Structure 1
């Protein structure tokens, strides 16, 4: 028994009814304390309506956590907290060399050379560990009032409020041998999961007492994922992921994924190498599908009944037929793999998914963090002005609910006016008249399909590059790449799952104001018919890359640059 672990009975654990706290759709760097990139109930996005709400230069490579309308991520300059609505910087904590944020209570926790807790209100340091590790800490898991991390082979449980050691476990014994911990932990079902040379282990979060231990492994994976249904980790340096029952630890299936998989309660999703991109049942064989995109990789997010992934090429012969969804953000039916929609990087600022929270998809677009949302009837203007123009209105409702803030709803032939105050230095205008609106539909439903080789796309069809993209019925698989993080991906690679631990220089934007309009006058409705105005989903302003991203999109629009048999792992 390792140091600090308490012996004794463990009552009714693991318990699927005891979810880790905090709860939310993306409170930690991979979605939640289970790290399985799984959202039980998520928004159903319309890909044809997605546009950039804001972007932050140089912040796309980092892990992201979202809580209480605030986005937390790391940049080259430290850690930033952004307003989820418009991307303005709420605070920046410089010189914090840590990433993988997790939010709980009044703190945001990160790992790097140490584990650090920052105050969510201003980014000040609440506490920092003093491990002085030989190797960088992969990530921390925050759950059950504790912060759990593997440091140089020892699993630590720290108190979330002050960082003191609740318990530590240096090793576990099996067959008269002692094994250190390999993997950064995951939390679900009232337990903490990790992996040693003796196999997968479940521990009581309060005491460190061993609940069960299953299997033996030859490799040293550094990640483990968990939901209420299953626990998975990469095995033996391959693309195979043994899936075990989350309550008993018994083997149930093998998932396949180049570098990683995502899974929920029923289905896992992964891909890469020469077996396409696909999904399968965690239990039984009810679901098995494969998308015909050989040598294609994408970090999936399973949200409700949809799989979201940004697919990119990952080696293999340069056969154009296999490039159907290269550099596309796709939405797939998780049960059969059929394509709901696909959005090309040529048409929108898409990229690897960093988070999905509420009605926003956060992606890494060429190193910039971009918030994608479905387009709305109102466009943001300078200093918080929002304009909604329509025709022949007879009523004007002007409200002003705070200091120096005005909201105007102006229409022709107005007979009534009601004013109140509703924001600080923010104006919202709703103007209508008899003229035609200059707004254009900035998403493209059949035009410019991302140069995938398809011609004459029907405007009513989704921007899918293939009339029949789903190839269901065949199981997905992968025999290339590293099971832990041997594969390179579009994210740059890290010790955990191919993502970068908060790299990329972040900027706070121009002046903290979202959407400055075309001429900087805050009137988003007064658009001019220029090429820049036709860029889908882009505005200029604080925290936005309107100029740089817009030029890049125009450049692209102009045409510049174009395993055999799976055996159950031994117990």
Structure 2
């Protein structure tokens, strides 16, 4: 990333809330179009740059959003208040005015304005939060990955990862293996299941490649070296160029997104690795010794490390936020210095989220002055900006998501917290959002309530769109960036991602 990019990002967070039209994207989504064209890879999903589109924010699991969704200088935190609640429980993803979450095997789509149910897709075996990308909702289930239409919830495709045709001949199709939340980038949905990483065509669900192990060279270059195989052992993340995953014995590996070939392999010398987060330039690894180490995504070289014990992290290009057993800590990544630390809270701090100039985190019942509260801290100095407390037996929950300057709290149900007047600090007009939803419903054959219109046959939960049907639909209706329906057959820019991927693979 160019040296002035971080400064532009931070400046954007500080000013966008006041000028009302400046877009500062999260680090994982910065300048994706230019970078994708430069490295010869298919464009990454636009949803990743415009909201909370995946588990922990985006395809890097960085848990960070910019000024267009977070809270910059000038935001009136005292205007924040609970707006609506839903009985559907789970950590949501948010895109284009709709909240998606998985609960008890079912994917729910809620209107972001008022929490009303838009659609529900049952029997897809959803086990973790979904992912929104390329105008599609992807969800991992019991041994499968399913793609849903974001407007009405019908099944577009479903790929059984236990099918022998996918390369897992020894898999038991009757075993309900857990599938990770899909990481979607480079026109591909990546999912980890039962020791294997799968790369699925994001448009069709076809398996492009799979990997269950990597090769590592051991020993000093001036001595006899040995090559060993190590099994994959964790969920993937995406960076500017590669898809990274964890392998056993402390191995970090970056794969070519299109072919699955090993491009970057690092023996970290930690006994084992727990999870990953990534920006465009770096991969952050939380280790079994509860440290966090940062590696250059292009070379695999270790650039820095922090020791805890560290339980959870959030990161963008300029700052790392982590939670230890007792404290919330901010580290300036340009200087390597600790910016601030807050509290002594005894195992009760939840997962942090970077929301522009603010760090949001929940505290449990032993959080002392922040007991059972969601708190916003200034990212520059750690000062308290806002606190929201639960009373009685209601729990605040340890996880939240942020989109459109709305905080979604997974607290046994789902609570949406936003500025009470609906347009505080440049927030979009609810009337405009309702108009956009009405237009989408008309395009997708829905009535004003979001139900399937009478002239259309209501899809069953087991409906699966055939390739011919989907091809016809895609050719007839395609939404451009403005949300209007265009003729896909006349737009060269909307050509099949499958063809695009094939051409690029041959060129590479």
Q: TM-score range by the shorter chain?
A: 0.5 to 0.7
What is aligned with 1:286? 337
* Aligned 1:323-342 pairs, distance under 5 A: 323-342=368-387
Whether 2:389 is the aligned partner of 1:362: answer no
Q: Using the TM superposition, give the Cα deviation of residue 327 of structure 1 relative to its aligned residue in structure 2, in angstroms.
A: 1.6
Structure 1, unaligned stretches of length 5 or more? 1-11, 315-321, 379-384, 387-401, 403-422, 426-571
Equivalent residue pairs, number: 362
Of structures 1 and 2, the one scoring higher in RCO (CA 8 A, sep 6+) is 1
Structure 2 contact 364–396 (Cα < 8 Å) conserved: no
Flag the structure with larger Rg.
1
Separation in 2 of the partners of 1:16 and 1:294? 45
- The CA RMSD measured in Å over matched residues stands at 3.1
What is aligned with 1:47? 77
Whether 2:358 is the aligned partner of 1:306: answer yes
Deviations 1:207-235 (A, max 9, x none): 12222111235555453111124211221
Structure 2, unaligned stretches of length 5 or more? 1-34, 163-170, 218-226, 424-429, 432-437, 439-446, 450-508
1:34 to 37, 56, 60: 60
Q: What secondary structure sits across from 2:275 in the alignment?
A: coil
2:190 to 132, 142, 148: 148
Q: Using the TM superposition, give the Cα deviation of residue 56 of structure 1 relative to its aligned residue in structure 2, in angstroms.
A: 0.7
Residues 148, 344 of structure 1: alpha-carbon distance in 2 compared, 3 angstrom cutoff: same
Deviates most, 221-230 or 94-103? 221-230
Separation in 2 of the partners of 1:34 and 1:28? 9
Q: What secondary structure sits across from 1:29 in the alignment?
A: coil
More helix by share: 2
What is aligned with 1:122? 152
What is aligned with 1:447? none
Separation in 1 of the partners of 2:335 and 2:152? 49
Deviations 1:411-458 (A, max 9, x none): xxxxxxxxxxxx969xxxxxxxxxxxxxxxxxxxxxxxxxxxxxxxxx
What is aligned with 2:138? 109
Whether 2:102 is the aligned partner of 1:67: answer no
Q: Using the TM superposition, give the Cα deviation of residue 286 of structure 1 relative to its aligned residue in structure 2, in angstroms.
A: 3.3
* TM-score normalized by the length of structure 1: 0.58
Separation in 2 of the partners of 1:199 and 1:14? 30
Whether 2:238 is the aligned partner of 1:208: answer no
What is aligned with 1:435? none
Q: What secondary structure sits across from 1:207 in the alignment?
A: coil
Structure 1 contact 16–188 (Cα < 8 Å) conserved: no
What is aligned with 1:190? 241
Q: Using the TM superposition, give the Cα deviation of residue 20 of structure 1 relative to its aligned residue in structure 2, in angstroms.
A: 3.5
* TM-score normalized by the length of structure 2: 0.65
Q: Using the TM superposition, give the Cα deviation of residue 200 of structure 1 relative to its aligned residue in structure 2, in angstroms.
A: 1.3
Separation in 1 of the partners of 2:245 and 2:199? 12
Whether 2:308 is the aligned partner of 1:244: answer no
What is aligned with 1:79? 107
Separation in 1 of the partners of 2:309 and 2:204? 38
What is aligned with 2:18? none
Deviations 1:371-407 (A, max 9, x none): 11111189xxxxxx99xxxxxxxxxxxxxxx9xxxxx
Separation in 2 of the partners of 1:308 and 1:327? 14
What is aligned with 2:311? 259
Separation in 1 of the partners of 2:354 and 2:310? 17
Residues 192, 377 of structure 1: alpha-carbon distance in 2 compared, 3 angstrom cutoff: closer
Q: Using the TM superposition, give the Cα deviation of residue 257 of structure 1 relative to its aligned residue in structure 2, in angstroms.
A: 6.2
Separation in 1 of the partners of 2:37 and 2:396? 39
Separation in 1 of the partners of 2:109 and 2:324? 34
* Aligned 1:526-565 pairs, distance under 5 A: none
Q: Using the TM superposition, give the Cα deviation of residue 305 of structure 1 relative to its aligned residue in structure 2, in angstroms.
A: 2.0
Q: What secondary structure sits across from 1:309 in the alignment?
A: strand
Structure 2 contact 216–265 (Cα < 8 Å) conserved: no
Structure 1 contact 243–282 (Cα < 8 Å) conserved: no
Deviations 1:324-350 (A, max 9, x none): 222221111223222222222249995
1:174 to 203, 211, 216: 216
Q: Using the TM superposition, give the Cα deviation of residue 311 of structure 1 relative to its aligned residue in structure 2, in angstroms.
A: 1.9
Q: Using the TM superposition, give the Cα deviation of residue 112 of structure 1 relative to its aligned residue in structure 2, in angstroms.
A: 2.7
Separation in 2 of the partners of 1:258 and 1:75? 29
Structure 2 contact 372–395 (Cα < 8 Å) conserved: no
Separation in 1 of the partners of 2:364 and 2:374? 9
Structure 2 contact 406–418 (Cα < 8 Å) conserved: yes
Deviates most, 170-179 or 128-137? 128-137
Q: What secondary structure sits across from 2:369 in the alignment?
A: coil
Q: What secondary structure sits across from 2:78 in the alignment?
A: helix
